[in-house]
């Protein structure tokens, strides 16, 4: 009788490993479709990867990237947020989120996401500098002009 739980655990781990392997294969297939420019097909495959292994931060990250490439910024943000929920130290998810926020003209959130990416991985600073400069310029263009002083 004691062998039954051990056998069950063995089967459970084997099933988990199979799911992870299946998700990995789907992620690789999705990445290949992204590189080939087949964005809709990539999203479909990467959604399948997420469904296969809902704990895969990599599947969510790649799906967020696919949405970003499709210019579906709200979809990208949702996937990058989920990536961060699964892997709070995923600097790449914060960079992707920053780009999506930037394209959504949400400059404060874009900057905060980049700042977090740099906090997690200081090596991201060099990659982030052009984005930070762009965010600063874009923010300056959208900030309301200071009111003209009223003559008294």
Q: How far is CA 61 from the centre of its chain?
A: 4
Please check whether residue 7 lies inside any domain of the structure: no
pLDDT, one tens digit per residue, over 19-77 is 456 899 999 999 999 999 999 999 999 999 999 999 999 999 999 999 999 999 999 99
Please check whether residue 124 lies inside any domain of the structure: yes
Q: Residue 98: left if φ>0, alpha if ψ -120 to 50, beta else—which one?
A: alpha
- Domain extent for 103: 26-141
Please check whether residue 41 lies inside any domain of the structure: yes
pLDDT, one tens digit per residue, over 3-23 is 444 444 444 444 444 445 689
pTM of the model: 0.79
Please check whether residue 137 lies inside any domain of the structure: yes
Q: What is the CATH number of the domain that holds 103?
A: 1.25.40.10
Please check whether residue 9 lies inside any domain of the structure: no
Structure tokens at 88: 């709070």
Look at the chain and report how many structural domains it folds into.
Answer: 1
């Amino acid at each position: 009788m004691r062998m039954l739980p051990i056998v069950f655990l063995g089967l459970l781990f084997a099933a988990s490993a199979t799911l992870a392997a299946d998700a990995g294969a789907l992620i690789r297939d999705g990445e290949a479709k992204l590189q080939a420019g087949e964005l809709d097909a990539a999203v479909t495959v990467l959604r399948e990867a997420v469904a296969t292994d809902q704990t895969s931060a990599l599947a969510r990250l790649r799906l967020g990237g696919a949405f970003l490439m499709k210019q579906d910024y709200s979809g990208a943000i949702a996937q990058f947020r989920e990536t961060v929920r699964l892997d709070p130290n995923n600097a790449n998810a914060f960079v992707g989120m920053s780009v999506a926020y930037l394209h959504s003209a949400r400059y404060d959130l874009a900057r905060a996401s980049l700042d977090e990416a740099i906090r997690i991985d200081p090596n991201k600073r060099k990659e982030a500098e052009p984005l930070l400069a762009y965010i600063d310029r874009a923010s300056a263009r959208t900030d309301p002009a200071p009111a003209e002083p009223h003559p008294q």
